[in-house]
Amino acid sequence: MNANKRESAKSPPLASAPALPDAFEEQMKAQLAAEFPAFQTALTQPAPVSIRLNPRKQGYDSTDLIPVPWCADGFYLPERPSFTLDPLFQAGAYYVQEASSMLLSEALRQSVNLNRPLRALDLCAAPGGKSTLLASALSPDSLLVCNEVIRSRVSVLRENLDKWGCPNVVVTNHDPDEMTNLAGFFDVVLVDAPCSGEGLFRKDPEAVHEWSEASVQLCSSRQKRILSAAANLLDEGGILIYSTCTYNDPENRNNMQYLAEHGFQNRALTLPDDWGIVEKSSDDAVGYQCYPHRVRGEGFFISIFRKKTFTAAVKLDARTFRTIRALRTRDTASAAKWLQNPADFSFWEKPNGAVMALPKSLEKTFLFLDSALHNKGFGLDMGQFKGQDFIPSHALALSTAVNQSLPAIELSKENALRYFKKENLVFDTPVSGWLLAQYKGLNLGWVKGVGNRVNNYLPKDWRIRMDIKEYV
């Protein structure tokens, strides 16, 4: 289930600082010196709430919100609403993301030419916060591969990317060491590494209990392994972005130094002083640290590198290993009607009959990836033919590629929430056939009209379980 769905309606302010492990406190005193008391006080304050808007799904009114300085789409909210019960959230109009981690947006802006088509990989992607940021930052002709090694976390990643609605995305489930088929393939690789989570102590008191010096060392070596695998996947001149949500040197400083000593040139960012972000150096590299007493956000670290060495790419013959086949001409004509610009796509069928649309500009790359990876989501999953009928997928309704002229029905907030409770809705006037259920003009999913009633095609895993009474 979507982690974003598990949020509670309000996050209670912390009454006092979480009891910090002694060794962590010593580490932070050494790191922050006179600033340590301010850091400690910040941990007693409620974590700021921030969202990042989806630039391809307009509809959220951000007029009165305070912007996040380092991300054009990022905004602070005055308090934490119930996101689960906001139809605009369910429609993918925004993602709930901690503000410091949106610094990735500025790092990309300063280190990557985002105007040209790129091949990008988010190697540690679930639940998908940075993947959705990357999807928005990259040009539409770029490819984004979102990989998550832990199988149980792949579905939430897919769900968040389906909501975001970009058809140029592949979701995969690999250990980074298994991706050797893609040596030298990518222009940009993000390693948002599994870490000791010191920067989340305020938001997630559980992280305090899990912290130990031994776990810091374990995280540091794990990150080194992931970074070595990532290094091999980049093309010469490609950009590697390493980030964590922690403060300690064994993870952040040692690993950025490791990259600087193993074929990477560090890239500095220019950040205004009034953002409050601290520059941290090792012998040959610099990274950027957010602290909760200096920025309106949690602890976050980021460092940027350019690959200096060449890695020979593996040659795969996509035709030999391909699992999908071209859709029959007759079915292609029917499937095409569901897309806004069908000429931009080619149509394919999986062995289970699911119909996929692949952006033509990326077709060869997608077919190559089909042979090289265990795909868990690939281009736009459109739906399936059942006899003469085409049953559209939920992902199609949420996709930015769906035909906007298809019949639609605008729902009140109450009916939108009933839709997400998977109730069948009743209307005054009869409706028939497939309709896009919409809220404030944004697609929520499919309904099928049968007289005055519509059947609800929300996938059962997406059903919200919260009580909606006080919100309708």
Q: Which amino acids are annotated catalytic?
A: 245
Is the Cβ–Cβ distance between 443 and 93 less than 8 Å? no
Amino acid symbol at 314: V
Burial 309-330 (b: 16+ CB within 10 A, else e): eebeeeebeeeeeeebeebeee
Give me the least distance between CB of 216 and ligand SAM, in Å please: 15
194 part of the interface to ligand SAM, by CB under 6 A: yes
The distance of Cα 219 from the centroid of its chain, to the nearest Å, equals 22
Is the Cβ–Cβ distance between 203 and 99 less than 8 Å? no
d(CA 460, CA 89): 18
From candidates 20, 47, 53, 125, binder to ligand SAM by CB under 6 A: 125
d(CA 466, CA 6): 10
**Total residues contacting ligand SAM (rule CB under 6 A)?**
16
d(CA 217, CA 362): 41
Give me the least distance between CB of 178 and ligand SAM, in Å please: 10
Residue ranges of alpha helices (H) inside 234-349 are 252-261, 318-321, 329-336
Give me the least distance between CB of 181 and ligand SAM, in Å please: 17
Give me the least distance between CB of 134 and ligand SAM, in Å please: 10
Is the Cβ–Cβ distance between 188 and 393 less than 8 Å? no
> ω before 127 within 30° of 0 (cis)?
yes
Supply the DSSP symbol for 123: S
d(CA 308, CA 151): 33
d(CA 97, CA 53): 10
- Subset of 226-255 contacting ligand SAM (CB under 6 A): 226
Give me the least distance between CB of 95 and ligand SAM, in Å please: 9
* Nearer Cβ to ligand SAM (151/469): 151
Name the one range near ligand SAM by CB under 6 A: 83-91, 121-129, 202-210, 290-298: 121-129
CB atoms within 10 A of CB 205: 13
- What's the distance, Cα to Cα, between the start and end of the chain in Å? 24
167 part of the interface to ligand SAM, by CB under 6 A: no
* Nearer Cβ to ligand SAM (126/339): 126
Name the one range near ligand SAM by CB under 6 A: 123-131, 136-144, 425-433, 443-451: 123-131
Give me the least distance between CB of 127 and ligand SAM, in Å please: 5
- Subset of 171-190 contacting ligand SAM (CB under 6 A): 176
Give me the least distance between CB of 226 and ligand SAM, in Å please: 5
199 part of the interface to ligand SAM, by CB under 6 A: no
Is the Cβ–Cβ distance between 94 and 50 less than 8 Å? no
Q: Which two tokens stand for residue 171?
A: 């979701």
d(CA 46, CA 250): 28
* Nearer Cβ to ligand SAM (192/381): 192
Nearby residues of 46 by Cβ (< 8 Å), 6 or more positions away: 11, 12, 13, 14
Largest CA distance in the chain: 72
* Nearer Cβ to ligand SAM (20/125): 125
Is the Cβ–Cβ distance between 92 and 53 less than 8 Å? no
* Nearer Cβ to ligand SAM (241/356): 241
Is the Cβ–Cβ distance between 43 and 292 less than 8 Å? yes
Is the Cβ–Cβ distance between 218 and 224 less than 8 Å? no
From candidates 28, 124, 362, 442, binder to ligand SAM by CB under 6 A: 124
Is the Cβ–Cβ distance between 113 and 465 less than 8 Å? no
Name the one range near ligand SAM by CB under 6 A: 37-45, 67-75, 125-133, 369-377: 125-133
* Nearer Cβ to ligand SAM (218/431): 218
Give me the least distance between CB of 26 and ligand SAM, in Å please: 25
Give me the least distance between CB of 196 and ligand SAM, in Å please: 11
The distance of Cα 314 from the centroid of its chain, to the nearest Å, equals 28
* Nearer Cβ to ligand SAM (122/349): 122
3-state secondary structure of 108: helix
* Nearer Cβ to ligand SAM (241/285): 241
Q: Which two tokens stand for residue 327?
A: 């859709």
Residue ranges of alpha helices (H) inside 249-362 are 252-261, 318-321, 329-336
Stretch 126-155: interaction string toward ligand SAM, x if CB under 6 A: xxxxx-----------------xxx--x--
* Nearer Cβ to ligand SAM (197/359): 197
From candidates 86, 159, 162, 192, binder to ligand SAM by CB under 6 A: 192
Q: In the complex, which residues of this chain contact ligand SAM (CB under 6 A)?
A: 124-130, 148-150, 153, 176, 192, 194, 222, 226
